[in-house]
Amino acid sequence: MRHLIDPMDLTVQEIDELLELADDIIENKEKYSKVCDGKKLATLFFEPSTRTRLSFEAAMMELGGNVLGFSSSDSSSSAKGESVSDTVKVVSCYADIIAMRHPKEGAPFLASLKSDSPIINAGDGGHNHPTQTLTDLLTIHREKKRLGNITIGFCGDLKFGRTVHSLVKALSRYENVNYIMISPQELEIPQYLVEEVFEKENITYQQVRTIDEVIEQLDVLYMTRVQKERFFNEADYVRLKDTYILDMPKLKNAKEDLSILHPLPRVNEIAVEVDDDPRACYFRQALYGKYVRMALIMKMLGIEKPQ
Ligand code: CP
């Protein structure tokens, strides 16, 4: 039995296969509509979510399976003091596969040690979000037809943004990825990632403070919101929350084929006027999240691609 806790749990070949399977699901939805007949997915969300939980549930339903679960710790026995380990041990008696989000880093890993069903990390604190990474990779691949040979700007809260941490790791395995990290000093990418990814893999990266100084170089701009829920004090959040707002004037010097990604939810870091620009990919990206999760559920349940 395999779990997915960290994006690096998947090999490059497995990621390629998942993206290929997701592409085939997009093209041939009907063919997949019964492959998970009789299977159950549990979504255990101890932290709020719209896209991840609902796309996992829609994914399982579109594969012909069923879903159960909870969307907040308040509506589970965690509110009575039950441990994550006990919750997962029990839920794995009811479900064939479990997607779990938790505010504490490492909680899904702990759960995987006790579970009798595969665990998928659906986001743990400021740490990892591997299925968002699969979503991002599928989006970049569909938009650009490649994962290497790109210049990608990560903009916003690079300190607490788990989607950034996971995507930075995953892209480090592709050739010629040029990273430009755009953030205020207080929200720079954590030092452990600089050491584990950039220094270890001998990858050079730029650290800049404004979008304007790099926009014309970018093939992909990965915007993020400032993660209010991870700040220790409100004053710091208020001071930093509006550092970057992408609007049409900011895109004046951008490439015509720039791809603008955002894991969402958006607060105000992308002006609504940008949504109608063909370079805005973030709502397509949210849709692709469902298809890549369909592919992942199939892989983790050992379900073969139908003929
Ligand atoms: N991208 C993402 O994780 O969104 P949700 O928090 O809505 O699941």
Q: Is the pLDDT of residue 256 over 90?
A: yes
Residue 143 parent element (H or E): helix 130-144
**For the segment 116-132, what is each residue's pLDDT rounded down to a tens digit?**
999 999 999 999 999 99
Q: Whose CA is nearest to atom 6 of ligand 1?
A: 49
pLDDT band at 227 (very low <50, low <70, confident <90, very high): confident
Q: Percentage of the chain surpassing pLDDT 70? A: 100
Pocket of ligand 1 contains residue 135 by CB under 6 Å:
no
Determine whether 114 is an active site residue: no
**For the segment 206-220, what is each residue's pLDDT rounded down to a tens digit?**
999 999 999 999 999
Give the C-alpha distances (Å, rounded to integers) separating 259 from 140, 190, 282: 8, 25, 9
Q: Is the pLDDT of residue 242 over 90?
A: no
What pTM was estimated for this model as a whole?
A: 0.96
pLDDT band at 87 (very low <50, low <70, confident <90, very high): very high
Pocket of ligand 1 contains residue 264 by CB under 6 Å:
yes
pLDDT at residue 15 in the model: 98
Q: Is the pLDDT of residue 232 over 80?
A: no
Q: Whose CA is nearest to atom 1 of ligand 1?
A: 263
**For the segment 145-169, what is each residue's pLDDT rounded down to a tens digit?**
999 999 999 999 999 999 999 999 9
Determine whether 104 is an active site residue: no
Amino acid, res. 238? V
Centre of ligand 1 to C-alpha 54, Å, is 9
Q: Is the pLDDT of residue 96 over 80?
A: yes
What is the CB neighbour count within 10 angstroms for residue 146?
13
Centre of ligand 1 to C-alpha 49, Å, is 5
Centre of ligand 1 to C-alpha 307, Å, is 33
Within 8 A by CB and 6+ apart from 25, the residues are 32, 291, 294, 295
Determine whether 102 is an active site residue: no
Q: Is the pLDDT of residue 235 over 90?
A: no
> Is 261 in contact with 220 (CB distance < 8 Å)?
yes
Instruction: Give the mean pLDDT of the chain.
Output: 96
